[in-house]
């Protein structure tokens, strides 16, 4: 691909990428209900009134993993073109090795490193990571094996709650006085009331989540800081350089940020 075509491509996709990051941050902040689900069942006992409102099934609409998979797929064209542009512009100049978490990512030009720095330091990206929905640490979550979420990863559940819905019934009755005859003209019955408990139905409740754990979110934010520090260190020993081909790509950047895969 000619450089002028590559430049036009990155310029065209830049606004789209920026808008996508902003939209994801807003979705994570304002649509956290889309990441949680709940199933409720209720079976009334014989002779009792049904309570349909105690039944319901709210599916997890999406998961953090699913959203990031879409993000990676739809940012790939822009990110890959972006670094190809920088590699081409910097062809033939000095380079530096980029080392992150003690692992070499390869040797890159200063322009690639500067571009990578701008991507990772982007405030909208930081806001997006900071707004990742997380599960409550006060509840015990396990990976869900519920058939509703078969073939979907990143769904967690808590143990199903089972209970019996009960109610009370009040019943009037006449207190008997052995000292007064019921046939006596002065007899006045004394009415009392007793309360009985009855079972109305069996009820279950189970919560599901497509959110991340607090640890996953904290690790992603830490990895972003680690990347920035490593890039700055590499730039100190690197002048402007040219490279025909770049090994930096969307999959590598976001697989590390979102999944911790180097």
Taking only the tens place, the pLDDT of each residue in 178-210 is: 766 666 777 777 788 889 999 999 999 999 999
Indicate whether 13 pLDDT > 70. yes
Position 245 scores a pLDDT of 53
* pLDDT > 90: percent of the chain: 62
Average pLDDT over residues 79-99: 76
Whole-angstrom distance, CA of residue 149 vs CA of residue 36: 12
Which of residues 249 and 135 earns the better pLDDT score?
135
pTM, 2 dp: 0.66
Position 192 scores a pLDDT of 83
Indicate whether 226 pLDDT > 80. yes
With 0-12 / 13-18 / 19 or more C-beta atoms within 10 angstroms meaning exposed / middle / buried, residue 146 is: middle
* pLDDT > 70: percent of the chain: 88
33: pLDDT confidence band, cut at 50, 70 and 90?
very high
Q: Tell me the pLDDT of the chain averaged across its residues.
A: 87
């Amino acid at each position: 691909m000619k450089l002028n075509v590559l430049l036009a491509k990155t310029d065209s996709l830049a606004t789209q990428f920026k808008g996508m990051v902003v939209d994801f941050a807003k979705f994570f902040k304002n649509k956290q209900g889309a990441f949680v689900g709940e199933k409720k069942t209720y079976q009334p006992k014989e002779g009792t009134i049904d309570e349909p409102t105690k039944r319901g099934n709210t599916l997890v609409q999406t998961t953090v993993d699913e959203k990031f998979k879409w993000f990676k797929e739809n940012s790939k064209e822009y990110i890959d073109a972006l670094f190809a542009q920088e590699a081409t512009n910097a062809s033939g100049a000095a380079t530096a090795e980029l080392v992150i978490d003690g692992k070499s990512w390869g040797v890159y030009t200063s322009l690639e490193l500067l571009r990578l720095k701008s991507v990772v330091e982007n405030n909208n990206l930081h806001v997006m990571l900071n707004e990742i929905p997380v599960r409550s640490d006060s509840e015990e979550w396990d990976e869900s094996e519920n058939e509703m979420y078969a073939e979907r990863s990143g769904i967690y559940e808590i143990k199903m709650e089972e209970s019996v819905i009960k109610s009370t019934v009040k019943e009037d009755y006449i207190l008997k006085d052995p000292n007064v005859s019921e046939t006596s003209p002065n007899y006045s019955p004394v009415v009392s009331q007793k309360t009985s408990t009855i079972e109305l139905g069996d009820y279950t409740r189970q919560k599901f989540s497509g959110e991340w754990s607090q640890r996953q979110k904290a690790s992603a934010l830490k990895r972003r800081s680690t990347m920035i520090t490593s890039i700055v260190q590499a730039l100190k020993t690197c002048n402007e350089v040219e490279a025909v081909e770049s090994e930096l790509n969307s999959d590598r950047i976001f697989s590390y940020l979102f999944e911790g895969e180097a």
